[in-house]
Structure 1
């Protein structure tokens, strides 16, 4: 695959684009994904500049090493997003649509917009003269797209570090019916994404209504702030998205549920995956001494284990101790406590950092106990490693549903993490060979997929850089209101006409019957 990618770069069209990437720090994996896109395009011979809008102040390494210019917009004060419930204690109940989360998200976005206004003249205004051909950003909020508009970028490309969400699909007029289209941000409700029940579909229906209502509302507040600099920012969400040419989605086709797409959707899953297979000698020593194999345990960069209570930690460690022939590599943040625990549980190794992809690729790795973040899901699937899945929030439940549908995962509810539940799940994956067999099949399917997403992304970016956004790719549905889009303008009249026809038939039959009855009655009286 790497050779194919390099050949595609050598065969590029030969003209260099000037590209601007807007990369808000809304989670380490999101930042790394967008930075990987920036570096890949820079390697392909294009001049890439990147704006980093500071939201999560803990993220200080942005990952982009090949870009020509970096502009960092500091936060005027600590963003409220740093204190959301998912960061404080990810093992507590979560709801992406709860009032508390939505209120927190709104405040976070408002803070980010105020930061941009404050630093615009100093840091961003000079970029207006760069005449960028293409702008790339995520759509976790609308204001990054507004920044591209303010800087007069010719063509916009969206990037999604998560699976394609229905509200993004609708941006392109792509049908996303809640009857069978899962919403990656639907939390625990998406665990049945492979086969929705009636109540699941009811939930999807109302969840979509909430999203489609909230996005324009949030856009209005963001525009209100940024319009103090540029009053020409489009007023409606639809008008703001008119210049969008492509959307780059961080999933390979083999790790997606079947769903409607369009030519504008480019799957580039794995672009941020680390290719380094070298493992630190001290970790390799642990792996080598494992009698039956290694089990990797990680809950990602956003979820800190520092906030776990003693009971939960003990549940994990005591469960792992039941498998003395396996060595457990546990990404664990609290180093002082780690030494204490390692003395009590000799087959458990608590490490501040894991070379996750390299360790998952080692032949002795048997199981991955994971939160099922998308990058973790892709890495383990690429290496053919099955899961014990403990999703915490957001698209992790959706990814779990995907893994279960492929037969590569056992699910544990994060609200029911006990020693017995963990032992049972690990025992199932270790003894039931179907999980490993299915994981290896999926690994081969990913490896042999006949299209390279990275190479296609480069070609398509260059294509729209030369020819613009290609309006002939617009689906007609983008211009239709919901009533016409769902064919209610056809269905309702047909129903009314049908009712009218039956009513007329009913009246005619009634008239005929009454007429015949009256005639018979008159005849009887005469006789």
Structure 2
């Protein structure tokens, strides 16, 4: 009897300390979905009641149901155009033909359309809003893509927010937090600049910072205009600018990065780097086909994957054949190539690729690979990747040297970080040739014995990051409980959220100061000229 009462007492304590949490995941790539699902699982394990809310953002991404969340809601906006995202390079073969510019005029226009369409679909679903209001959530944790959440969450009457990003410090996160990272030494996330920039790189970085903030404010204003046109919902609080709402009510930030994938930059106490959260260090030894594959390659294996968001069928056949020609130069190594089924069966180029690969004894093509298991095996000598956040974190965790082929968005930033720390080399996606790939593999796998090798530096990075990864879960649960109980934590909101760009970059001080100094210099010069003329005139008079 006593034991039963003790168990009941513990259960009551657990129930008293639990919170009702809404985890909102926009479906825009399998890695993003898995990231937010893992966040939900961590919170459930900590004793919270979690609802995983998934909105259809990418038509190629399917909802995830394999989670510990007690409830799962999948939302299909009524007027969502499934082809809208195909206007972006990363969904087509254009990704391999040019460097994607997020704020190119057509991209900026399409990004605005995505934000407006998503928000319209969410706000118009009154049944969904009323259902979520009824739950009276204590906290919402959501991935930030655009300012739309800053509007929609006001309809839910939720003001305890934690923002997450599965791909580093998202631009909208940078602006809404009030940090306004200094463009003089903090490179823009979607560019390949290092922290040591040239004058022209700093100039370009500054322009991006200005445009980013201005664009997000413009999107925020357009969302407010949208809200004014939509049917009103009873018991909705007075709406404010989405960016202002996010700035005032967000109490913590979860960023999928670490000290090797992110540059050293100022951050607040409530910024938590969760890079490596998805890594499972306790990987089982390889078995079956992969065990036989690795056993047959005593000199080592090179793994090649472009992640879950890139269709290998969009990868140009010419680039594939150049890579295969390079792989043939290393008969002592084996190569595992992760592709998708369409790249093997869709058209004539797929047939050519399939014929070439089937004739190579040291190449193994798979439509799915146990990536973490392969990287955890010390016989993996290199990892060829697009440098996505998940793949980068996994390579760091298992100490695997990297050959990056950055394709889009944050890939360039991650790739630059890898090269800067000596953890790998980078190849331009527009310059994939047999020679370039061969040089990269030689440098990574064999290197220069007189210097610290890539493998040694990768092992050092893994050792440095390991203690931090072990603290990630406790950091997430700590902030979730703090915000659920005491949020919004307004004492952590930076005053930078209240400043204009003129004030943030001291332009309001530097311009008047520059004008004053110019006036002083001009006045001094004019005075010197006047004194010189008077002195010259006096001398002439004296001589006469």
TM-score, normalised by the number of residues in structure 1: 0.89
User: Aligned pair 1:358/2:373, yes or no?
Assistant: yes
Match of 1:410 among 399, 415, 425: 425
Structure 1 partner of 2:256:
250
Q: Distance in 2 between matches of 1:182 and 1:101?
A: 21
Q: Distance in 1 between matches of 2:65 and 2:377?
A: 25
Query: Are the counterparts in 1 of residues 190 and 410 from structure 2 also a CA contact under 8 Å?
Result: yes
User: Aligned pair 1:97/2:103, yes or no?
Assistant: yes
Q: Distance in 2 between matches of 1:508 and 1:112?
A: 64
User: Aligned pair 1:481/2:500, yes or no?
Assistant: yes
CA shift, 1:14, in A, is 6.3
SS at match of 1:416: coil
The correspondence of residues 81-480 of structure 1 with structure 2, limited to 5 A, is 81-82=85-86, 84-89=88-93, 90-93=95-98, 94-118=100-124, 120-186=125-191, 190=192, 192-227=193-228, 228=230, 229=232, 232-235=238-241, 237-275=243-281, 277-278=283-284, 279-334=286-341, 335-336=344-345, 337=351, 340-432=355-447, 434-449=453-468, 452-480=471-499
Summarize deviations over 1:179-238 as a string: whole Å, max 9, x none: 21111123xxx1x31421122112112222221222122223334444524573313622
SS at match of 2:430: helix
Q: Distance in 1 between matches of 2:337 and 2:527?
A: 79
Higher mean Cα deviation, 222-231 or 396-405? 222-231
User: For residues 484 and 99 of structure 1, do their structure 2 counterparts lie closer, same or farther at Cα, with a shift above 3 Å needed?
Assistant: closer
CA shift, 1:508, in A, is 5.3
CA shift, 1:411, in A, is 1.1
CA shift, 1:97, in A, is 2.2
User: For residues 259 and 13 of structure 1, do their structure 2 counterparts lie closer, same or farther at Cα, with a shift above 3 Å needed?
Assistant: farther
Summarize deviations over 1:10-30 as a string: whole Å, max 9, x none: x99961111112211122211
User: For residues 505 and 309 of structure 1, do their structure 2 counterparts lie closer, same or farther at Cα, with a shift above 3 Å needed?
Assistant: closer
Higher mean Cα deviation, 44-53 or 166-175? 166-175
SS at match of 1:255: coil
CA shift, 1:443, in A, is 1.0
The correspondence of residues 17-32 of structure 1 with structure 2, limited to 5 A, is 17-32=19-34
Query: Are the counterparts in 1 of residues 186 and 195 from structure 2 also a CA contact under 8 Å?
Result: no
Match of 2:67 among 65, 69, 73: 65
Q: Structure 1 unaligned runs (5+)?
A: 1-10
Query: Are the counterparts in 2 of residues 12 and 44 from structure 1 also a CA contact under 8 Å?
Result: no
Query: Are the counterparts in 2 of residues 166 and 176 from structure 1 also a CA contact under 8 Å?
Result: no
Structure 2 partner of 1:7:
none
User: For residues 513 and 461 of structure 1, do their structure 2 counterparts lie closer, same or farther at Cα, with a shift above 3 Å needed?
Assistant: same
Query: Are the counterparts in 2 of residues 158 and 244 from structure 1 also a CA contact under 8 Å?
Result: yes
Higher mean Cα deviation, 168-177 or 360-369? 168-177
CA shift, 1:160, in A, is 1.0
CA shift, 1:145, in A, is 3.1
User: For residues 236 and 306 of structure 1, do their structure 2 counterparts lie closer, same or farther at Cα, with a shift above 3 Å needed?
Assistant: closer
Match of 1:56 among 55, 58, 69: 58
Query: Are the counterparts in 1 of residues 383 and 401 from structure 2 also a CA contact under 8 Å?
Result: yes
Summarize deviations over 1:427-453 as a string: whole Å, max 9, x none: 111111511111111111111449712
User: For residues 72 and 358 of structure 1, do their structure 2 counterparts lie closer, same or farther at Cα, with a shift above 3 Å needed?
Assistant: same
Higher mean Cα deviation, 456-465 or 363-372? 456-465
Higher mean Cα deviation, 163-172 or 457-466? 163-172
Summarize deviations over 1:383-417 as a string: whole Å, max 9, x none: 11101111111111111111001111111110111
User: For residues 12 and 323 of structure 1, do their structure 2 counterparts lie closer, same or farther at Cα, with a shift above 3 Å needed?
Assistant: farther
User: For residues 451 and 198 of structure 1, do their structure 2 counterparts lie closer, same or farther at Cα, with a shift above 3 Å needed?
Assistant: farther
TM-score, normalised by the number of residues in structure 2: 0.87
Query: Are the counterparts in 1 of residues 63 and 74 from structure 2 also a CA contact under 8 Å?
Result: no
CA shift, 1:325, in A, is 1.5
User: For residues 32 and 456 of structure 1, do their structure 2 counterparts lie closer, same or farther at Cα, with a shift above 3 Å needed?
Assistant: same
Query: Are the counterparts in 1 of residues 177 and 497 from structure 2 also a CA contact under 8 Å?
Result: yes
Q: Structure 2 unaligned runs (5+)?
A: 1-12, 346-350
Q: Distance in 2 between matches of 1:91 and 1:521?
A: 77
CA shift, 1:493, in A, is 4.0
Q: Distance in 2 between matches of 1:421 and 1:209?
A: 36
Q: Distance in 2 between matches of 1:37 and 1:501?
A: 59
Query: Are the counterparts in 2 of residues 38 and 64 from structure 1 also a CA contact under 8 Å?
Result: no
Q: Distance in 1 between matches of 2:439 and 2:417?
A: 21
